[in-house]
Amino acid sequence: MTQIRSVKTLIIGGGLSGLALANLLEAKGHDYFLVEARDRFGGRIKTESVDRGYFDVGPAWFWDGQPRMARLVTHLDLAVFEQHADGILMHEDESGQVHRSRGFASMQGSYRVLGGLAGLTDGLAHRLPDLRKQTNAPVTSLLKDGHKIVATLASGVQVQADNVVLALPPRLAAQIAYTPALADQTRQAMQNVPTWMAGQAKAVAVYDTPFWREQGLSGDASSRFGPMVEVHDASPAQGGPFALFGFIGVPPQGRREAAALRTQLLAQLGRLFGPQAAAPMQLIVKDWARDLFTATQADQAPLYAHPTYHLPSAMTGLWEGRVHFAGTEVAPQFGGYLEGALEAADTAFAALTTGGRPR
């Protein structure tokens, strides 16, 4: 095995939280190294492009009252726009009958980033020097060696650090081999934290025209019959192509037949929005439950409510306070949201640079 470097802080996980933390440390001149298991930075933020359009297959929104997100989009000089919500709402009842209604669109008042949320993570990643970051670098084990921690990557390369930040879902962090072994209560606490969005799947149907708007429809729909339980307009702020996207409510075990699922999705779009909706120029389906760097077996069970996230006491003070957690699942105020990922990064930064005292 080759030890490639010795750093003060190793950040494991290059999603929004890990990238934000790395940028905070970079600004302070701190010695750090960021490793990401995937072949890209961004984590659960993922934006697909179709022609000139950009469509988020992970999270898509943020809201007023989330100050870190507001500061970040300003810092990165990104444009934002409000979620389209004008028009009539659709509802599909348990028998498959479609009804029109007027009311408050569920995502009205939320904001989207022009060009997709990958603008956040790409912008943060591009601000980091190449020698401070690496993709395709899953960490398989962590060894406490005196006052140092030695991380071994899947490639066999080793990195020695004074501190390690686990900026990934706790259930994924629990899959790393620890020597000495973590206490049973610590490992159990990590496995008990649900990974936000890990059991979710999302479909995006892309069209040449926003025909639903021309019919007076908002693009918002709910369903108790088809595979998508919730549908929204996913079109860009201006120009096309245009899109509808939906959250798939079928549990992970029930969506293994990809071709059958796509057939059902198109049929449901046709019922809700007419024949044009059943013939998109492209249908994108992202099943996060099949993403090995997002979901574990425990995440195959669907979430029916937003968990109450925080950092359990059993996950604090590990290895003489040298192992820290970041990621939206450990944020006490905005856990599960993009804002929570940034909140957790701030908390980890404070722990690394001021001994945990607020900045």
Residue 177 one-letter amino acid:
A
pLDDT for residue 104 is more than 80: no
Distance CA 169, CA 171 (A): 5
In the chain, where the domains are located: 1-45+117-193+305-359, 46-115+199-290
pLDDT for residue 356 is more than 80: no
Averaged pLDDT score across all residues of the chain? 95
Distance CA 273, CA 218 (A): 10
Tell me the average pLDDT across 67-93.
Answer: 96
| pLDDT for the residue numbered 357 | 42
Q: Judge if the upstream peptide bond of residue 241 is cis by omega within 30 degrees of 0.
A: yes
Q: How far is CA 102 from the centre of its chain?
A: 31
Q: Which band of pLDDT confidence, cut at 50, 70 and 90, is reported for residue 359?
A: very low
Q: Does residue 129 contact residue 22 with C-beta atoms inside 8 Å?
A: no
Q: Does residue 116 contact residue 47 with C-beta atoms inside 8 Å?
A: yes
For the chain, report the end-to-end CA distance as a whole number of angstroms: 39
Q: Does residue 142 contact residue 158 with C-beta atoms inside 8 Å?
A: no
- Among 25-34, 203-212, 274-283, 350-359, the least confident range: 350-359
Half-sphere exposure of 172 toward its Cβ, with a 13 Å CA cutoff? 24
Distance CA 340, CA 165 (A): 16
Question: CB-based contacts of 86: which residues, under 8 Å, 6+ apart?
Answer: 213, 218
Q: Which band of pLDDT confidence, cut at 50, 70 and 90, is reported for residue 230?
A: very high
Q: Which band of pLDDT confidence, cut at 50, 70 and 90, is reported for residue 2?
A: low
Distance CA 309, CA 305 (A): 12
| pLDDT for the residue numbered 4 | 74
Class of domain 1-45+117-193+305-359: alpha beta
| pLDDT for the residue numbered 358 | 38
| pLDDT for the residue numbered 108 | 84
The count of other CB atoms within 10 Å of the CB of residue 292 is 11
Distance CA 57, CA 44 (A): 9
Distance CA 11, CA 33 (A): 6
pTM above the 0.85 mark? yes
46-115+199-290 belongs to CATH 3.80.10.10: no
Q: Does residue 69 contact residue 338 with C-beta atoms inside 8 Å?
A: yes
Distance CA 136, CA 130 (A): 14
